[in-house]
Every structure is written in structure tokens, then in C-alpha cells.
Amino acid sequence: SHYTAYVAKFGALNRGTLVEGRPDEETGLPALSWRNPPMGGFRKDPDSALVMALETFSQDTGQAQPAPILLHRVNIRPEPVAHADTPAEALSICLGETGRVDLDRIGGLLRTGDPRGALGDLVFDDGIELVPATEYLSGNVRAKLADAETRGDGRAAAALRVVVPADLGPLDVRIDLGSPLVSTADLTQFVSEVFGSYASVHHTPVTGHWEVSGGRPSAQAAVDYGTPDVSPTQLLQDALNSRVPEVTDQVWNSERGRWDNVRNFQKSAAAAEKVEVIRTRFRSWVFEDGTRAERILRTYNDLFNAYVPRTYSGAGLTFPGLSPDVTPWPHQRAAVERIVSSPRTLLAHPVGAGKTLEMLMGARTLKQFGLANKPLIVVPNHLLEQVAREAHQAFPAGLFLIATKDDLARGARRLFAARCATGEWDAVIMTHAAFGAIPVHPDSERSWLGSQKMQLRTALMSANGNAGPKAIARAIRGLEGRIGKLRSGVADADTIWFEQLGVDYIMVDEAHLYRRLSTNSTSRDNGMGAGASKRATDLLLKVETLAARRPVGAPVCALFTGTPWSNTLAETWVWQRYLQPDALESLDLLSFDAWTAMFVDYATNIEVAPDGASFRMQRRPVGIVNTPELKAMLAEVADILDPAELGLKVPSHEVRTEVVAPTPGQRAFVQDLAVRAENIRQKTADKRGTRRGEVVDDSMLLVCNDGRKVALDPCLVGLEEASAKLTRTAELIAEAYHENAARTFPGSRTPGAFQLAFLDLGTPKPGSASSYGRLRREVVARGVPAHKVRFVHEATTDKARAALFASCRDGDVALLIASTSKAGMGTNVQSRLTHLWHVDAPWLPSEVIQREGRAIRHGNHAEHVKVTRMVSEGTFDAYTWQALERKSRSFDALYATRASARNIDDISAATMSYGEVKALASGNPLLLEQANANSALARLQLMKAVHMQSVRKAEAEADSFDARAANLERRTGHLREALPDVTDDASVARLERVVAHHKARERGYPPRAPWRGLDVSLSEDAGKRISEVTLSHHYRTLHTVAIAPALARRTPQVIAEYIAETANRFVDTMALHIERNTAEAERLRGKADEARYTAATTVFPDEAALLDAAAAVGRIDALIAAEASPEPVAV
């Protein structure tokens, strides 16, 4: 009655508004927070959260009702189980109560004196203690099998042999360049066998850097695997380091008065193609030798094909203190068992899966089992009040410390830290912002940083080559810089340290916001981008320092997210870096480059640069290889649930595409886009104005933006014509409105359905054309009341925003037109949402999920939702939706637990190609096929041109070898003629007179000094100093010796003695010189013959493909001509 009276007078206890703050600097999304009234200062009371929990309140709908504790008794002492019918039931009860196998407890439940015998194969001895079979027969079962065999435990070994995965063969596994399974000796052998030369190979595992140096490859290898500008050895090094080769030319810069290195696009493209040839050859070569293949496959199977995912059920878990009104779902029980059984874990459960309850039950169970004393739960800023309220409602007797903004104000921080450290809290709950504002203590930071640097410095001491140590030094500087940036703002005298809180376990909700970890990659084109976010570095630091203080294997953290992948499957490494660092390090995969060499397939494509003003070869991830082994490893620490597996009650839905014919103006504009794209490619683009009034060079980025705008609404690009897409959208919206006008929904008497239309372009802005307004006018003209059509942008205050969303739920609003950024997150308007419209297409699959998640979620009373994608034919719409769909499919393959595909495509976002723009401009798909065929033909023609250049280079090398051999043969002939005339007459005095003559610079021809039947003469440099000594016979030079400037300044006697010593050494070894020169001349003649033979016999390996490509281009050209010609054309 008191609660009812309060609500009647003041409103709900938990009333408030959702506040939209500044966009997050790392995500670009607006920061959200839930703002409550001060209630006369009552909310500052440390225990106010207990009072707030007396009410069940929905921040989504604003509806409030008394919490169960006000209606009936919720604190009921659980009755301990006294008897179990089966050993399996007894084991489940024991594990649920204590988290371990307790034979005394099991014996009591079964009333037997031999509980170990009764359990049988339900438990196994791992050498330390008894563990459940589900735990023992999962994980790295090969390592456990080896341990069981070492201990002589035949029963355990027999059970493990049944579950060990079957060995994989060469057809199942792909080993690529850069894989940690490939040794430097293997690569040396590869260079020897394939390139025909010796190579010195060095590898630095800590940074994943490779260095290759070697001799001259064979003539055939130079043609097959190199280009005239880059040797196969250098290209091999590029391939090992995941780099795109770059060939530059020196071009004179008249403005700066210097030579600049300018990238040669054709030469670089040819080198990139040769890198792929080397990769392809290596993938087959690695299995060509039986011994090598057996060794590598054995290592792969032992290290990677060794994991069996554990099945978690949580069936026996008990949750003392959990309200009887709360019934955990099976997947929530399983999540709690995973939390208490794993040192670190990822729970990737979709929206509506009940992650908040998973965190609360996990925290309580950690304390129940004695695995943690003070778990910390970190939640998004706007959900703090809601999570706090749900915590007290789920566990009415629980002790939860809520870190509000006031608790972390300067004057209250130390008091909060003291309460946190000294209290027996079931969990501490704080926001992302608060978590990031509490740094670790400098001592802990220095310790962690020191350990990381020690590993790098240890590697530095053992690193070989030249580039490896430099890469390590860069990694050390980068690590110091990231930590320095992280703590640059911490200078508050009242700062509290993370260690002062006494927290010993971390749970983070919406962990995908912490995804930008530094990769320290040596490649700029790794698909993950450069740099790292401060929040990600902060989380890694806290998790690692906490793990260092905890016992080995103790639970440390759990991360929660509904979108584990956003842009590329290579983000899998981030989760493994957080959660499996020891496993990655043991496999030499802690380096991102080594990890990608094992699991990621890359392709090098010619693309438009991001600035649109230039072109480049872009290396992007295109797939995941060795997928089952990666998924098995990830399953050790991650529970990734497909929404379909949850069985939650959500409305069914259908997705359909509505294609709209373009207007004449749209067709003409898209054709103009093709012309602009061609001008950009030819570097003859015009200047264009921007929204800000700036004049810039036209670029593919501007072309794509204009293409998206004209696809939505021609008025956005200045065309004076109506949008066929907006008109058709309005017709369909009006039809749906009238069809559902009398429909009612539970909880409201107001009839009518609600529709949500997403447009990211054409938003209402002062002074600019608004597609929002045009769509509303079209809808109203078809009978939808104007007051029932709203823009999300109309709600400029927090109260207005809350009121608008409430009107959407109540039926007062029939259509809300919104952008993804303003309504894709933190917006709950789903109670009667029947139709969702994608009027334009977003860029990322995660944005599609955010949009459609507004409707397809728990709490929507509509039994069925229709999702419609509006597409303007012949525009950029089709391309964008196709890319989104392909990318989404690649993510689905990792979500699917039963999928067994060994390779998964990974589609990264890319700017539209010129061929695609041209095809869209004409509406003729043959033009896209033509563009692709022309591209393939141009690539093959380029490769043939490079092949012919290599052939000509081989011919030139043959001539060079012959010339060098002829020179050696001529010099050998001179030595043979001089050898009979050699005597023992060696007068140093004569040499001294010649030197003195030069030093005195006497006039006349410089004299020659006889020396053992030969002549000695001296030469001078520009400074008139003696620089060279020549030994000749009958005026034919036999040998020269350089005179260092320091020696040239000495006395004639010293110089003469040096000349005598070197001359004697040469004369005494003339016969050996003749022998060596003869052998070297023969070797050079052989090299010349080899190079000439290679040039004469080698053929372009892709000649057949080139002919086919030329034929394909001709066929497509004929088909296009046939379509364009009014008269029949033979094809």
C-alpha cells in the first residue's frame, strides 16, 4: 500500500530518462546513460539500490509494478538434498554444491561405502584429483592421453583414445609461408630445391618477423618466381612477412630538387603475382618429401587437431538465495558452469539471452565455490541502474555494491574504495566509464610492462639477422607508448587504484567495444587496421595483472557480447589474445602475423585507395583456413550461441526485397558516375564541391557517396524529380497501416500496428534537402494521419525522446523514421512492431543486426515481422546488399557449431570497382562480366610481359656471363705468358726510387720498376696521392693493389716495402690464380649456357589461360555489340 501510494503521488521509484551524450571517440556511436531524478538526495544513500529493487521497472516501456518481495516471501532457505537414486545424479548434485568431486558427499547421497566404485567411468583421475568425465574427456585430449600413458593409467588412456580426433592428412591441412610449423631449415631447403640457390633464413617468433638473404637463383627460378626488378628471395621474404611487394622508380622532383622514390604500379603488381606463385608452389612443396610431410602433419595433429569441446549443462548447479520467481534457462545454467570451470571465457549470446542473469548467477556461484571473493561486473553506462535493480530482485538477500557517478566523484572515491575493499560483497557493479577511469597501480603496471619487455628483450638477445632485432625494438617502443597514452591523464591526487578495490574476478558486458587490441603486425594490410583503443589496452592490462596475482588456472574473467565479429573473421585472434594467451604462446601463435599465417587466407587485389585519388594493391583477408581446428580451440574458452539455438519466444520474420525501377534522371546520373570513375582512373577527374563548401578533387569515395544518395532520393544530388523508391516505400507503408489499423496488442487498448523505417541518408538538417520530409508527405498523402508519422530527430531532449518511444509502444505513433545511429541501439519500441523498412542500406552486417534487432526480439507482441529491403534497380543498392549478405554468411559459418567446412570465406568491406560502377550505370550485367574479363586478361597480359622481360633478362645475363668468362680467359692467358719470365730479382730500392719520384712529383714520364721479371707502376688520385699499384707484363695488366690514403702519406721506404710484400704474394700464387680463373671461367660459361637454354626453352605457363581470357573478352564484347545493334550480329 505504501508503494502504491508513492507511485500514485510521485511516479515510479525508478523513473528516469535515457540520455544521449557525445559520440564515443572509438565507436562513433552516441554515449547513452540513464538519468534519474535526485529524489531529494535519497539516491546518494549507499543502500538506495535496495529500495529501488522493491519495484520491477522496464526502462524500455516505463512500466512499473511491485517487485515479488512486496507480494510474497522470496527468501526461502533451500533444503539440502539427502539422497540420490543414481551415481550420475549424485555426481551432479555434488558438483552443483561444491564445484568438485567430493567422495564423502557422494557416498552419503548414495548411502554406499564405495563411492569411487559406484561412479565408475563418470570420473577420472587426472594425476592430481578426481574430475568429471565431461571435463577429462574434453580439451587437449592428446596431451591428456600422453600424460595418462606416462602415469600408466590404462583406464583413462583407453577412454581418451576413443575421443581423440582422427589424424588429418595433407589434403585436409593447409600449411602456408609464415606458419610456425615451418622451420628455418625447411625454408632453406625450399630455396635450395626451388630457387636453386642457398639462403640464410632467420625467424623472430615473438614478433613473427622473418628475414631471408641468399645468393643468385638459377636462371629458371628467376624467370618462374622473380621479376626483372625483384629476386625470388626478396619476394619469399615479403610472403613470409605478409607484405605486399613494392617496386619504386627514382623520379626527379624539380620542385624539391631531389630524386624521389615513386611506386611503379605495373612492376609492383607483377611482383605481387609472383608472390602468389611462390605461395602456391610452397603449399605443394611442403608435402612432397615424405619425411618432412610426416613431421609437419604429426606436429599439426598433436598441437592443433587435439581439442574436443566440452559440453556444459549446469544441470546440477544450485543457486542459493535466487528468488523463486526466477527460473534460469538451460543455456544460462550452462554459462554459469563454464564461468566457474574456465580461467577465462567468452559468452557470445545474442540479445534477449539473459546475459545479466548469467553474470549475477556466475558471480554468486564463484563465491559459493570459493573461486572468487569479490567479482566485478562492468556494464554499459545507461544500464547501471537496471542491472543493479535486477541484481537485488534476482538475489533479494544478496549484497551488491553499486558504483554510481557520485561514488567516483573526487571527494568520494577513497570512501568507495574502502567500502569495496572491506565489504563482503557478492558483486561490485560499475559502468564502462568508471572501469576505465580506475587505473592499475603503477607498480603492477611496471611489473606487467617489465615482463612483456623482458620477453621481447630475451628474444632480442637471441634474434639473428638485421631486421628481426629492429622489429623487436619497435615492439618495445610501441608497448611503452600505448601504456603511456593510457595513463597520460592520470594525475589526480585522489586517484584510487584498481588493486585497492579487492576485486579478483572481472565480468564485462558488451565486450565487443574492447575489440581494438594492437596486433603489432609487420603488415599494413592485415585486415585489422592499425592502432589500438585505450579501453582495449586497459582491459588487457587489468586481466593480465589480475591473472598474475591469481593461482594458476583460477577463474579470472568472463566477457559478454552479442556481436563477436563486426568487420572480419580475423577478429577471432583478439578473443584468443584476451582469453587464451598461454595456449597461443605455446603454439607460437601469440604474434598476430603467425596466427594469420596459420588460419587466414589473404588475397591481393587492385583497389581504389581510401582517399579515392590513387590506386593501390590491397591485401585483404578473404577466408579462414584450417577452420575446424580454430573453432575447436576457440570452443575451449568461448560459448558462441546462434539466436536460433536459444528457443526464445520472438516473432517469426520474413525478409523480402522490393525492387524499384529507376527514374530517367537516376539512370543518367549513374551513367555520369561511370564517366567520373573512368576520369578518376585516368587521373583526369574534375574538382567537386563538398557539403562544407570546400573544393576537392573528385574521388571514388565521393562517387560511391553520390551513388548511395541518388539510389535513395534524386533530390539529394540536385536532381529535380521525385524518388521512385520513396514513393513505393510510402505506398507499402500506407498499405500496411490500413491493413493493421484495427489490430490490437496486449497491454494497450489503442489499435494499430507500429512501423519503423531506417534511413541513414537524407536526414532532416537545416538548409538541406530532407528525404525524411518527402517520405512523410508521401505517406500522409496515402491516408496515414500526419500526427502518427514521427522523426526520431524531433526528440531533441531526453524527456522528448522517452516520450516519443513511449508513444511508439502505446500506438500513438504509427511510423517512426530513424537513422541507425539514433535508433539502432538502446531503443526499445518493439511491443507492436510489425514492419521494418531498410529504405537505404548500411555498411556493416552488425548495423543490419542492430536495425532488425529492434523488431525481432523478446517482448514484441506481433506474431510476425516483415522486413523489407528497398532497392533501386541499376544503382548501388544491389551491390551494397550483396556485399552485406556475403559478409554475414561468413560470420554465420563460425556461429554454426555443427558446420565442418575446412575453409570459410571472409568478405571485407571495399569500395566499388570501376567495372561495377559501369555495369550499374547501364543496367547491363554483361558490362560487369566484361570488366572482370578485361581485368583477368590485363593481369595475364601483364604477367606475360613480365615473363618476356625475364626471358630477355636471362638472355642478357647469358651475354654477361660470357663476357665475364672471356675477360677471365684473357687475363689467364696473360698470366700464362708471364709465368715463364718470373725471376727472383726483387729490389726494394728500385721500388723506393719510383715511389720517391711520384712523391717529389718530378717531371717526365713516371718510371716503371722491374720486379721479378714483371713491371711495377703507380697511379695517383685527384689529390696527387699514390692510390694504386699495377703489376704488368709487356704492358698487360696482371694485378692491381689499392693504396690506402693513410699509407700514401708514409715515407717512400714504408710504401715500397708494402708494395714488395703484396707483389711477392701475387707472384708466388700466379699458378694458383691461373687454376682458379680457369675454373671460374668454366663455371660462368656453364651459367651462360643455362641462362641461354632457359631463355630458349621456357614458355609462359599461363599461355592457355591467356588465350581463353582473350576469347572470353571477345565473346562478351560480341554479346554486348549484339544487344546494342538493331541488326542481328553473329556471335
User: What would the pLDDT profile of 146-184 be if each residue is shown by its tens digit?
Assistant: 999 999 999 999 999 999 999 988 888 889 888 889 999
Query: In the listed set 252, 286, 320, which residue is the last one of a domain according to the structure?
Result: 286
Domain span including residue 971: 956-1097
Q: Contact, 543 vs 506, CB < 8 A? A: yes
Domain match, 748 and 860 both: yes
Domain match, 658 and 793 both: yes
Domain match, 731 and 856 both: yes
Phi and psi torsions of 35, nearest 5°:
-105, 120
Dist. CA 901–CA 476, nearest whole Å: 39
Query: In 3-state terms, what secondary structure has residue 567?
Result: coil
How high is the pLDDT of residue 488? 55
As beta bridge partners, residue 495 has: none
Q: Which amino acid is at 301?
A: N
How high is the pLDDT of residue 699? 77
Dist. CA 952–CA 945, nearest whole Å: 11
- Containing 476, the helix (H) or strand (E) segment is helix 467-486
The verdict on residue 969 lying in a domain is yes
The verdict on residue 293 lying in a domain is no
432-468 burial, b at 16+ Cβ within 10 Å, e below that, comes to: bbbbbbbbbeeebbeebbeebbebbeebbeebebebb
**Which of the residues in the chain have pLDDT under 50?**
25-28, 462-463, 465, 467, 489-491, 607-616, 907-922, 1128-1131
- Containing 1074, the helix (H) or strand (E) segment is helix 1070-1097
How high is the pLDDT of residue 946? 72
Dist. CA 597–CA 208, nearest whole Å: 10
The verdict on residue 89 lying in a domain is no
Q: Contact, 455 vs 206, CB < 8 A? A: yes
Domain match, 874 and 960 both: no
Dist. CA 670–CA 167, nearest whole Å: 55
All three cell numbers of 337, joined, read 558452469
- 167, 172, 178, 181: CA torsion to nearest 10: 10
How many domains, in total, are found in the chain? 5
The verdict on residue 309 lying in a domain is no
DSSP 519-552: ---S-S-SSS-S---HHHHHHHHHHHHHHHHSPT
Domain match, 844 and 742 both: yes
The verdict on residue 335 lying in a domain is no
C-beta neighbour count of 384 within 10 angstroms: 25
How high is the pLDDT of residue 1022? 67
All three cell numbers of 523, joined, read 603488415
How high is the pLDDT of residue 1010? 85
Domain match, 850 and 702 both: yes
How high is the pLDDT of residue 1018? 85
Within 13 A of 734's CA, how many CA atoms are on the CB side?
18
Task: Output the domain CATH number for residue 848.
Answer: 3.40.50.300
The verdict on residue 422 lying in a domain is no
How high is the pLDDT of residue 892? 66
**Pairing between β-strand 754-758 and β-strand 833-838 as defined by DSSP bridges:** parallel
How high is the pLDDT of residue 189? 92
CA distances from 262 to 61, 581, 1035 (A): 61, 41, 48
Dist. CA 1040–CA 422, nearest whole Å: 87
Domain match, 874 and 726 both: yes
Domain match, 918 and 988 both: no
Angle at 445 between CA 443 and CA 447, to 5 degrees: 70
Domain match, 890 and 1034 both: no
Domain match, 857 and 914 both: yes
The gap from C-alpha 864 to its chain's centroid, in whole angstroms, comes to 36
Angle formed by the axes of helices 232-240 and 265-285, nearest 10°: 80
The verdict on residue 204 lying in a domain is yes
Domain match, 666 and 812 both: yes
Query: In the listed set 258, 286, 314, which residue is the last one of a domain according to the structure?
Result: 286
Q: Contact, 902 vs 625, CB < 8 A? A: yes
How high is the pLDDT of residue 48? 67
Q: Which amino acid is at 498?
A: F
Chain length of the chain: 1131
The verdict on residue 640 lying in a domain is no
Domain match, 687 and 825 both: yes
Query: In the listed set 286, 315, 348, which residue is the last one of a domain according to the structure?
Result: 286
